[in-house]
C-alpha cells in the first residue's frame, strides 16, 4: 500500500479531517487527474436540485466542460434566479431550465415523458435534490416527504429515463448525491415510510441516504446491460442553504472547516466525466468520496442483507409502479 493510500484512509476514518476542506486540500495532490477541457462536449446532463448549493455548482462545472446542462428545480422563481446566476458564471454555458417536483410521482411522470421526447440521448442523470423535515410530513400521494423526494421520485425518474440513457452513444451514468450521514443508519426495509418509529428528521434523512446507496448498487446491476453505470457519493460537509436551514447548530460549530460548494461538487463532476467503472469487469455501484471508492459500512455490516435489499426494492418498485 502506498503512503498516500494510508494517509487518504486516515483522513477518511477521522471523519473531521476528511469531510472538511482539509480532505480535498490534501487529496488533490494524489487523486486522479482533472477532467480535460471540453470533455463533456456534445453530452446532455440532467441535474436535479440544480437551483442552489451542490447541484448548482455541479451544473456550472459540467457546463464549463462543454455539456448541455438541464437545470431542474421545483420552484419557478428559484429556477429563474439560478439560470441568471449560472449564465453569468459560465457565459458560454448551455443551460436549459426544467421544472419538476420530485416529491410528486405524477409530476415526475409528466416531466419524464416530456423530457424524453425532447432529449433523446441523455449521458448523465444526477440525482442531487435533497431536503429534510423536522416533523413527519406526507405528500398529497401519501408518502413520507423525504422518502418521496430522495428515493421514490429519483427511482421513478431513473426508470422512465432509461430509454434516453440507453440511447446515449458512449454509454450513460446515473449518479446519486448521498451523504456521509448514511453511515449512521442501517438499511431499514420494514418501515420505509417512517410510520411506526418515532420520527426524527436527521434519522429519516440518514435512512433515506442509506437507501439511495443500496438502490444505486441494485440499479447498477439492472442497467449494466444497457451500458449505464450507477454510482453514489457523498460530498463531505459543505456550506449550503440546505445545511443553514436544516442543521444550523451543526453549521455554527463546523463553519470554519466546511467545504465550499466547488469542493463538495468536485467528485460528482469527476464521476460524470471519468465514469470510473464503465467497461470494468466488476459492476458499477460504488460509493465515492473525493474521487475514491469508499466502504459503505464501517465495523458491522449495515446494508448487505439480501432479503432486506430485495424487500426495499420491491417496496419502491410497487410505490412507483415500476418493474425494471
Ligand X SMILES: NC(=O)c1ccc[n+]([C@@H]2O[C@H](COP(=O)([O-])OP(=O)(O)OC[C@H]3O[C@@H](n4cnc5c(N)ncnc54)[C@H](OP(=O)(O)O)[C@@H]3O)[C@@H](O)[C@H]2O)c1
Nearer to ligand X by C-beta: 199 or 257? 257
Nearer to ligand X by C-beta: 124 or 307? 124
**Binding-site ranges for ligand X (CB under 6 A):** 48-49, 51-55, 73-75, 78, 101-103, 128-131, 149, 177, 179, 234-235, 237-238, 240-243
292-294 and 287-289 beta bridge pairing: antiparallel
**Nearest distance, CB of residue 180 and ligand X, angstroms:** 6
Burial of 277 (0-12, 13-18, 19+ CB in 10 A): buried
Q: Whose CA is closest to 144, among 200, 186, 214, 78? A: 200
Question: What's the CA gap between 176 and 66, in Å, rounded?
Answer: 21
Nearer to ligand X by C-beta: 55 or 66? 55
Is residue 109 within 8 A of residue 160, CB to CB? The reply is yes
Residue ranges of alpha helices (H) inside the chain are: 3-14, 16-19, 22-27, 53-64, 76-89, 105-118, 145-147, 153-160, 162-166, 201-223, 241-246, 248-254, 261-274, 306-320
Nearer to ligand X by C-beta: 77 or 323? 77
Catalytic residue among 205, 246, 298, 315: 205
Instruction: Determine whether 70 is an active site residue.
Output: no
**Nearest distance, CB of residue 213 and ligand X, angstroms:** 12
CA atoms within 13 A on the CB side of 37: 0
Q: How many residues does the chain have?
A: 324
| Measured CA angle at 186 (ends 149, 248), to 5 deg | 55
**Nearest distance, CB of residue 293 and ligand X, angstroms:** 17
**Nearest distance, CB of residue 37 and ligand X, angstroms:** 25
**Nearest distance, CB of residue 101 and ligand X, angstroms:** 5
Nearer to ligand X by C-beta: 168 or 247? 247
| Measured CA angle at 232 (ends 20, 36), to 5 deg | 75
Residues with a catalytic annotation lie at: 205
Amino acid at each position: 500500500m502506498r503512503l498516500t493510500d494510508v494517509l487518504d484512509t486516515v483522513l477518511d476514518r477521522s471523519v473531521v479531517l476528511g469531510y472538511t476542506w482539509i480532505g480535498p486540500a490534501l487529496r488533490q495532490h494524489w487523486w486522479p487527474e482533472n477532467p480535460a477541457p471540453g470533455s463533456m462536449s456534445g453530452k446532455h446532463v440532467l441535474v436535479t436540485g440544480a437551483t442552489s448549493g451542490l447541484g448548482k455548482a455541479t451544473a456550472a462545472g459540467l457546463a464549463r466542460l462543454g455539456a448541455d446542462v438541464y437545470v431542474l428545480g421545483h420552484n419557478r422563481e428559484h429556477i429563474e434566479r439560478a439560470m441568471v446566476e449560472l449564465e453569468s458564471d459560465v457565459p458560454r454555458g448551455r443551460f436549459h431550465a426544467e421544472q419538476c417536483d420530485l416529491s410528486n410521482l405524477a409530476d415526475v411522470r409528466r416531466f419524464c415523458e416530456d423530457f424524453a421526447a425532447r432529449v433523446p440521448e441523455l449521458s448523465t442523470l444526477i440525482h442531487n435534490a435533497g431536503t429534510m423535515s423536522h416533523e413527519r410530513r406526507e405528500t398529497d400521494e401519501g408518502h413520507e416527504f423525504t422518502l418521496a423526494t430522495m428515493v421514490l421520485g429519483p427511482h421513478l425518474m431513473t426508470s422512465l429515463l432509461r430509454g434516453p440513457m440507453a440511447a446515449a452513444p458512449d454509454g450513460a451514468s446515473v449518479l446519486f448525491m448521498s451523504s456521509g450521514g448514511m453511515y449512521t443508519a442501517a438499511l431499514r426495509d420494514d418501515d420505509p415510510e417512517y410510520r411506526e418509529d418515532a420520527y426524527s428528521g436527521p434519522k429519516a434523512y440518514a435512512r433515506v441516504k442509506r437507501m439511495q446507496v443500496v438502490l444505486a448498487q441494485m440499479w447498477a446491476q439492472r442497467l449494466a446491460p444497457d451500458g449505464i453505470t450507477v454510482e453514489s457519493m457523498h460530498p463531505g460537509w459543505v456550506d449550503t442553504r440546505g445545511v443553514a436551514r436544516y442543521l444550523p447548530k451543526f453549521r455554527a460549530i463546523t463553519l470554519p472547516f466546511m467545504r465550499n460548494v466547488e469542493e463538495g461538487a468536485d467528485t460528482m463532476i469527476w464521476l460524470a466525466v471519468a465514469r470510473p467503472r464503465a467497461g470494468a469487469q466488476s459492476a458499477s455501484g460504488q460509493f465515492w468520496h473525493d474521487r475514491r471508492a469508499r466502504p459503505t459500512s464501517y465495523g458491522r455490516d449495515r446494508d448487505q442483507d439480501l432479503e432486506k435489499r430485495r424487500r426495499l426494492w420491491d417496496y419502491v418498485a410497487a410505490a412507483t409502479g415500476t418493474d425494471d
